[in-house]
């Protein structure tokens, strides 16, 4: 009995951990090609550009899907659901925030490249916010709660990122257009 009790205790703990584990692992939010492009983009402005292209693609694909337009065969996002696409969009924007924050905190970073990245991010998020609002309304009309929640979550991070880009741009000095005189 003394041997069985510790064994059962361990089995219950392992069983509890397995039951509390997520149903399925999260789908990778970037394609292999996008991952390679992010790795190649060492400068922050180029990296943000790659990320924002991926985010825009997910947003466009989710808009198409909600309108009933299916992916063409061979599309790298062909097997992603609308929910997967919105989750991917969110995760990409979160990655952009982390990358920009790290670059901004690094005193060796090129401030002009950070500024370029912030300008791109601000423009892209302004457009994305409008599309996400429309998607949220469509989800409400279709009575798709999970989609509505994901769109709302994506709107929140998009607004935060846009506001952060505005703030970052206000703190970075604009490049001077005046030439120095001798």
Domain extents in the chain: 32-171
User: Of 100, 106, 105, 110, which is closest to residue 166 (Cα–Cα)?
Assistant: 100
| Reported pTM | 0.79
C-beta atoms surrounding 79 within 10 Å: 9
pLDDT in tens, 82-115: 999 999 999 999 999 999 999 989 989 999 999 9
Torsional sign, CA 146, 155, 31, 164:
negative
DSSP string, 1-34: -TTHHHHHHHHHHHHHHHHHS-SSPPPPSS-HHH
- For residue range 26-40, list pLDDT tens digits in order: 668 888 899 999 999
Confidence tier at 5 by pLDDT (50, 70, 90): very low
**Architecture label for domain 32-171:** Up-down Bundle (1.20)
**Least reliable range by pLDDT among 15-29, 54-68, 114-128, 139-153:** 15-29
């Amino acid at each position: 009995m003394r041997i069985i009790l510790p064994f059962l205790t361990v089995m219950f703990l392992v069983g509890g951990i397995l039951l509390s584990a997520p149903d399925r692992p999260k789908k990778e939010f970037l394609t292999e090609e996008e991952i390679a492009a992010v790795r190649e983009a060492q400068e922050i402005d180029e990296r943000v550009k790659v990320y924002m292209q991926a985010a825009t693609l997910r947003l466009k694909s989710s808009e198409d899907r909600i309108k009933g337009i299916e992916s063409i065969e061979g599309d790298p996002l062909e097997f992603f659901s609308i929910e997967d696409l919105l989750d991917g969009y969110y995760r990409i924007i979160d990655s952009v925030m982390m990358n920009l924050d790290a670059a901004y905190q690094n005193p060796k970073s090129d401030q002009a490249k950070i500024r370029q990245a912030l300008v791109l991010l601000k423009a892209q998020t302004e457009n994305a916010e409008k599309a996400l609002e429309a998607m949220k309304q469509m989800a409400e009309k279709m009575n798709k709660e999970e989609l509505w929640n994901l769109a709302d979550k994506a709107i929140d991070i998009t607004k935060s990122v846009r506001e952060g880009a505005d703030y970052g741009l206000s703190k970075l000095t604009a490049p001077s257009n005046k030439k120095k005189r001798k």
